[in-house]
Amino acid sequence: MKWYLHACRNFVNFNGRAGRTEYWLFALFNAFFASIAIVLDISLKTSFTRYGESLSVGWIYTIYSLLVLLPSLSVTLRRLHDTGRNGWNFLIPLVSAAAFYLCLVEATKKAFWHETKAAGGWATGGLVLLCLGMILFTVLLLLKGDDGPNRFGERSAATANAHEHAADALIVLLVLGEACSRITGYLWSIAGNKLSKLANTNFSSYRKLQE
C-alpha cells in the first residue's frame, strides 16, 4: 500500500526512476481497487448499458480510472527510465491496440460482405499484434533496473534496497495475480452478458406463453 500511495503523491513526477517493487506493488493495488469499483458498479446498478444490456463497468470505475490515470502514467514512465529506456516505449501497447482496432474494423467490413475467412484472418491478425505488443511491454516492465545511476538519475529507494532481489519471486506472483484479476473481470463481463441475454430470452418466451 505504501508504494501505491507513493505513486499517487508523485502523480506529476515524470522524471527519475522507479524499481520493480515500486511499480508492481502499485499495479497490484490498482487492480484490486479497480475490481472493487467494478463490483460497486454492478451492485449499485451504475454500470453503463449497450444495446439495452448492462456492462460490467460504469461511473464508479470510470471516475476511479480518471483519478489514477496520471499516477499510472508517471510510475510507468519512471519504471522504463529505471531500465535506461525513454518514455517513447510507452507507445508499444498503444500502437498494438490501434493496430488491433484497425484490424477489427476491417474484419467487420469483411463479415458484412459474408467473407468469413477474410474476416477471421483480420481478427486473428489483430489479436496477435495486440498480444505481442502487450507481452513485449510487460517484459520491459519486468526487466531489472540499471545498477547505479543512468541518464535518468540515481536508483530509487526501492531499487537500491538490498531486499529488491529477494522480492523478485513476489513480483512474479504480483504479475500473475494482476493478470488473473483482469482475465477474471473479462470472463465475468462475458458471463454477465450471456446470462442477461438468456434471461431476456426466457422472459420473452414466458410472455408469449402467457399471451
Pick the more confident residue, 173 or 64.
Answer: 64
Backbone angles phi, psi at 57, to 5 degrees: -110, 155
Whether the CB-CB separation of 7 and 37 falls below 8 Å is answered with no
Query: Helix (H, G, I), strand (E, B), or coil: what is residue 86?
Result: coil
What lies within 8 Å, CB to CB, of 89 at 6+ separation is: 80, 137, 140
In the chain, the DSSP E strands lie at 47-50, 53-58
- Burial bucket for residue 209 (CB in 10 Å: 0-12, 13-18, 19+): exposed
Condensed to tens digits (0 to 9), the pLDDT of residues 91-121 reads: 999 999 999 999 988 888 888 887 888 888 8
How confident is the model at residue 190, as a pLDDT?
A: 52
Judge if pTM exceeds 0.75: no
Each residue's pLDDT tens digit, 35-50: 999 889 888 888 888 7
Backbone angles phi, psi at 165, to 5 degrees: -70, -35
In 10 A of CB 182, how many CB atoms?
Answer: 13
Q: What is the mean pLDDT of the chain?
A: 80
Closest CA to 133 of 173, 191, 90: 90
- Confidence check: pLDDT of 132 > 80: yes
Match 531499487 to its residue by C-alpha cell. 159
Q: What is the pLDDT of residue 116?
A: 82
Longest dimension (CA), the chain: 78
**Angstrom distance (rounded) from CA 21 to CA 19:** 5
- When pLDDT is averaged across residues 158-179 and rounded to a whole number, the result is 55
